[in-house]
Amino acid sequence: MDKVFASAREALADVADGATIAIGGFSVGHRFALGLIGALREKGTRDLCLVCNSLGAPGELRGQVLAENRQVRKLIAAFSIRTGMSTAGEEQIAAGEMEVELVPQGILVERCRAGGAGIPAFYAAASTGTAIAAGRETRVFDGRTYVLEPAIRVDYALLRAFRADRAGNVQFRGGSQNLNTAFAKAARIAIVEVDEVVETGELAPELINLPGIFVQRVVRTTNAWDPTQVPQSKRRAADKPRLYRGRPALTRAQIAERAAALVREGTYVNLGVGIPTLLSNHLGVRDVVLHAENGVLGYGAIVNGTEVDPDIYNASGQYVELKPGASFFDSVTSFEMARGGRIDTVVLGAYEVDAEGSVSNWSTGDVRLGGIGGAMDLISGNTELIIVMEHCDSKGGAKLRRRCRFPLTGQACVDHVVTDLALLSWNGSGFTLREIAPGFSVEDVLALTEMQVTLAPQVSTMRVGTAPPAG
């Protein structure tokens, strides 16, 4: 049984207009099937329905180049846009030219896994109470409301892996299994682009992450894997503090430092995109195990230069070190850990938090245009939730509000909020102001806070640059 095709063009020869195609890969550029995507663009197949994490940035060999070529009719994804980018996909969605279905990242892979397993639908709580669940069938189990999630089946899956044999057995490397396994199982025809093809039998059975029964075609890549060419998540040129009333607040690194001190010893912790990723640089040798939804458990600080391994990265796409005892797995397993209540603490950024402890962090109004990512799944497992963010938005408006204006990520779920001006903790019926940034008064903070808060018996000054007391 030989599943190796001579070229990407040959492997895609039977893809017809109107096909549903899943595109594997994660974050801003890690392990995408560049040759297959480029060949599909050249083929010009139209009216495609794409299933993916996101379309990517302009010009990247991702789903975005297919959108730029007017080949996409519908998008099913966890991100329809990414903040700070103006793309062809976004323009077509806004104009009503591209249909979009936003799906929480963990539910996306679980729907694909279900499709591959012959399960037509399942119930999950991740999107309960959010705009994503509007109009959907729900059911109550053990007092909790769950949303019916239909399985996803696709015609083709375009995937990227490290190595495969001629029988289609596939080996992924590091944290690069991510969505690939679920997408392969959901596909009628899974096509895998690999760095190396070996003879059948040369892959040790314990190294096979995806058995050949799920793979129909294999293509050797013509695109060399160069980690220096992978765009990293955008970082500010300098971590300068924001000024409030002419006085500097905490920097983003200092927000992360204070939030890191809230993390309890002996816990499993997930760090979201943005400021949360910086916490990994402030945990040191503490007994904390970091979890990333792309499929890594036990990573450490952000690295660069010669320390970079292209297949070891966090959910923001930043290269990281591994800690002793680290492990790799696919995104289905990763979100099983989250929804199953195995993750103790989740740290997320946010647009807004309200007086009921609800949070908005994925859309500023148009539910077609946003990035849900894995946040809804991550906080659905009854986890401790720490929000890190700047105290006010870019126009000076309050982000700690009486009621969130933007679509919710989760209801009544926030335990702590660390901003560049304050630390607040949930007290059972509202938030208590516990600490304020150096150089500011309680009155300063309250004037910039829309929600009503109570004051701790003694509101202290946030300590940064030294290790503040945990909890």
Would 4-221 and 250-461 be classified into the same CATH topology?
A: yes
- The catalytic position among 60, 149, 293, 352 is 293
Confirm if 38 and 219 have CB atoms less than 8 A apart: no
Alpha helix segments (H runs only) across 54-100? 63-68, 88-94
Confidence of residue 233 (pLDDT cuts 50, 70, 90): very low
Confirm if 447 and 398 have CB atoms less than 8 A apart: no
Q: Where are the domains of the chain?
A: 4-221, 250-461
Q: Specify the pLDDT at position 229.
A: 57
Confidence of residue 227 (pLDDT cuts 50, 70, 90): low
Using the predicted structure, report yes or no on whether residue 395 has a pLDDT greater than 80: yes
* Between residues 227 and 270, the one the model is more confident about: 270
Q: Could you give the CA distance from residue 37 to residue 12 in angstroms, rounded to a whole number?
A: 10
* Between residues 449 and 229, the one the model is more confident about: 449
E-strand ranges in 303-414 read: 320-328, 345-348, 352-354, 359-360, 384-388, 400-401
* Between residues 304 and 75, the one the model is more confident about: 75
Least confident of 134-138, 139-143, 366-370, 461-465: 366-370
Query: If residue 288 lies in a helix (H) or strand (E), which one and from where to where?
Result: strand 288-292
pLDDT digits (tens, 9 = 90+) for 266-304: 999 999 999 999 999 999 899 999 999 999 999 999 998
Domain made up of 4-221: CATH architecture:
3-Layer(aba) Sandwich (3.40)
Q: Specify the pLDDT at position 354.
A: 98
Q: Specify the pLDDT at position 313.
A: 92
Using the predicted structure, report yes or no on whether residue 29 has a pLDDT greater than 80: no
Q: Specify the pLDDT at position 14.
A: 98
Using the predicted structure, report yes or no on whether residue 468 has a pLDDT greater than 80: no
Using the predicted structure, report yes or no on whether residue 193 has a pLDDT greater than 90: yes
Give the amino acid at 238. Answer: A
Confirm if 459 and 433 have CB atoms less than 8 A apart: yes
Using the predicted structure, report yes or no on whether residue 356 has a pLDDT greater than 70: yes
Q: Specify the pLDDT at position 345.
A: 98
For residue 296, with 0-12 CB atoms within 10 Å meaning exposed, 13-18 middle and 19 or more buried, which class applies? buried
pLDDT digits (tens, 9 = 90+) for 102-155: 999 999 999 999 999 999 999 999 999 999 999 999 999 999 999 999 999 999
Confirm if 316 and 27 have CB atoms less than 8 A apart: yes
Model pTM above 0.85: yes
Using the predicted structure, report yes or no on whether residue 321 has a pLDDT greater than 50: yes
Neighbours of 242 (CB within 10 A): 17
Q: Specify the pLDDT at position 97.
A: 96
Q: Is the CATH number of domain 250-461 3.40.630.10? A: no
**Whole-angstrom distance between the N-terminal and C-terminal Cα of the chain?**
58
Q: Could you give the CA distance from residue 321 to residue 296 in angstroms, rounded to a whole number?
A: 11
Mean pLDDT across the chain: 93
Query: 58: which 2 tokens?
Result: 């302009």
* Annotation marks residue 293 as catalytic: yes
